[in-house]
Chains A and B, each alone.
Chain A
Amino acid sequence: MALMFAGIDIGSASTKAILMADSQIISYHIIPSGSDFAESSQVALDEALNKSNSAFKDIAGAVTTGYGRYITEINAEAVTEITCAARGASFLCADTKAIVDIGGQDTKVIKIGKGGRVLDFVLNDKCAAGTGRFIERIATSLGLGLDEFAARSVGSMTKLPISSTCTVFAETEVISRISKGESLDGIIRGVHSALAARIYGLAQRLKIQEAVVACGGGALNAGLMKELRDLTGDITLPPTGIDPRLLPAIGAALIATERYALNPVKHSKLSRPGV
């Protein structure tokens, strides 16, 4: 039987655990990260193991990634989500030259070379306005779920631009424009468009023109993807059936596989509390 490897991505918004063998996905599980990253990484991994009827001892090697990669108590090697996402993207879409990873905490644009090697990357500066939080925060303040928020953006024929570059100011701007009776859907589309413009600006810093794959939670937002496509023309999602949030976890499992091949002894000494 092929050896099984785990990739655990402990992000600011969600934790994803994936199990792979022979470069095939066996199972995965995604849960909100909450406030206890150590706990969420264990739960996500246990659920993935349950789904594949396997146990922790069956894992030959693992890599953790994401902001919580050092916080987990699973003593796997830690690799940044930038390296992992690039590896995952090139595995899923061999021709990818770049990815746009729209996460809860940050947005990254990563230029990818042969074999998923990172050639260069940029991240948004330290402000929620360039990240998925921007949309989440405004949707929440309007009492709308994210799906409905995105759907209203897609359905809107008008786009009312949001000028504030700060999330908190943008929230105030949205509320004041609603109170003036402006179209809610037009405003919502303006919110998506503002984030898309910031992401596009980031991609331009790396002069990216070729095949781009979107990933991260933001890629699930149809409104944002539509606005991004309006700006960039060509931007695709991972293959059907693959949750766009899984790319770094997939990359992590693949890196674990490669490292195990190089040094099986070191990489099989996996442990976690109580195991």
Chain B
Amino acid sequence: MVEKKKRERPAFNRSIAAAISKHYKDVQTNKPMAYLLMASNPLVEIAYAARIQPAFPENYACACAAGHASAGYCETAEAYNYSPDICSYCRNHLGYIYGPGENPPTGGIGEPDLLLITSSACTHYFKWWDALHEIYGKPLIFINTPRVMEPQSKPDFYMDYAMREIEQAIGEIEKAVGVKITNDKLSEAVKLSGEVVDYWQKLLEMQKAVPCPMDYSDLSNALFVLIVLAGTQEGVDLMRETYNETKQRVNEGKGILSKDEERHRLLWINIPFWYKLGIFGYFEDRGCVFPLSDYTHHIWGTTRMDGSKPIESLARKALEGELNTSVDDQIDKLLKDAKEYHIDGVIAHSNRSCRVLSVGMLDAVDIIREELNIPALVLDCDHTDERVYSDAEIMNRIDAFLEMLA
């Protein structure tokens, strides 16, 4: 049996954990509060410019899954006629609303005053936010964005359209909460968001180092800063701290595993199993790290934000997220990065909930397998609904994959 090792995690994780717990206190009390969606590259900068507290039900679903509360919330939602085929982020949230129980994870999230939605992700969003609109009776402000196939060659009128949508939404938000969103405030928030993104991009670049300085859990912690705190000084400070520490680790040749221990560099495709994050430690104990994932590298933080052009930057952000682009574009990015990050194996989560990330995934796996001649393992599971997870089956597949790599 391989020994389970306790590894020292980078210190920035403690600062991020403190920010996460502060956020979950804030979303219980701060007003006005808006619900935003993460996967559509949320325009959270607008909320900060308007001094609105943002809350993210998807992120809350991750917290619930990590606290093993999601299965119960999903069951509750199903009892309220939400089909098991609906994304478990959505079921988790609605189940929490209908029956939070006595001790909801992190203390729960408060009721929104506003519902903000950008269309550039999946179709679940519309009906989910419709349901919230019906439950809370609060204004629903919708920013429509065209679907982009190739982000580099999107037509100009897409940008014009998205910018008009954003300007219109800003007007509606001002009306809904009675706050003026001045150009200065918006520029400042976009400028701060740009600083966060710049650090993030440099941070990702450093994952190419051998040994890999951060693991998947470290990166997904930093994702919280990138998505939720973009547009705040707190976000810039935290991302800078994360970057500086990681840079130092790289300079010192310090990795999650030592250079000798790091035997395999794997690519994780799709969202992780939030209720089983220990799986990454299992891989580490067997000499494997995950320097690359579409989830951490390609969905958020891909747009450079320019404080002098706030609306244009926000429009680009809304249009360029991976979930708004073609499968071909996604595969090209994975292939290119797999080479640059020295990837020698793939773990692909065929996620029953998130079809937008799973359709085309088997093709991606085949193409990577053939072009790079590296092995791949597909795991059928779900990111939040733990009832779909079978430990014996998943671990058996992982063990066989690790034996194959050895």
Contacts and interface: CB of A to CB of B under 8 A. Distances in A.
Interface of A: 67, 78-83, 106, 117-123, 125-126, 205
Interface string B375-406: 11010100000001010110011011001100
Contacts of B388: 126
A126 B378 CA distance: 12
B380 A67 contact: no
A42 B279 CA distance: 31
B133 interface: no
B369 A80 contact: no
A126 B392 CA distance: 11
A205 to B, nearest CB: 8
Contact of B400 (A82, A119, A126): A82
A208 B369 CA distance: 15
25 contacts: A79-B403, A80-B396, A80-B399, A80-B403, A81-B400, A82-B403, A83-B400, A83-B403, A117-B404, A118-B400, A118-B403, A118-B404, A119-B375, A119-B404, A120-B369, A120-B376, A120-B404, A121-B400, A121-B404, A125-B350, A126-B388, A126-B390, A126-B393, A205-B362, A205-B366
Contacts of A80: 396, 399-400, 403
Given A120-B369, A120-B375, A126-B390, A67 B396 contact: yes
Nearest to A67: B392
Contacts of A119: 375, 404
Contact of B380 (A78, A82, A126): A126
B319 to A, nearest CB: 34
Contacts of B390: 126
Nearest to B350: A125
A82 B375 CA distance: 14
B378 A122 contact: yes
Nearest to B392: A67
A79 B393 CA distance: 14
Closest CB pairs A-B (n = 5) = A82-B400, A80-B400, A125-B380, A118-B404, A83-B403
B393 A106 contact: yes
A251 to B, nearest CB: 11
Given A80-B403, A83-B404, 16 more contacts: A67-B392, A78-B1, A80-B399, A80-B400, A83-B403, A118-B400, A119-B375, A119-B404, A120-B369, A120-B375, A121-B400, A123-B393, A125-B380, A126-B390, A205-B362, A205-B366
Interface string B360-377: 001000100100000110
Contacts of B404: 82-83, 117-121
A158 to B, nearest CB: 34
A125 B404 CA distance: 20
A134 B358 CA distance: 27
Contacts of B362: 205
Contacts of B399: 80
A125 B394 CA distance: 10
A106 B396 CA distance: 11
Interface string B245-273: 00000000000000000000000000000
A118 B400 CA distance: 9
B396 to A, nearest CB: 6
> Which of A80, A81, A118, A119 is packed against the most chain B CB atoms within 10 Å?
A80
Contacts of B1: 78
B88 to A, nearest CB: 15
Contacts of A122: 378
Interface in B203-227: none
A78 B392 CA distance: 14
Contacts of B397: 123
A82 B380 CA distance: 18
A80 B392 CA distance: 12
Contacts of A121: 400, 404
B110 to A, nearest CB: 37
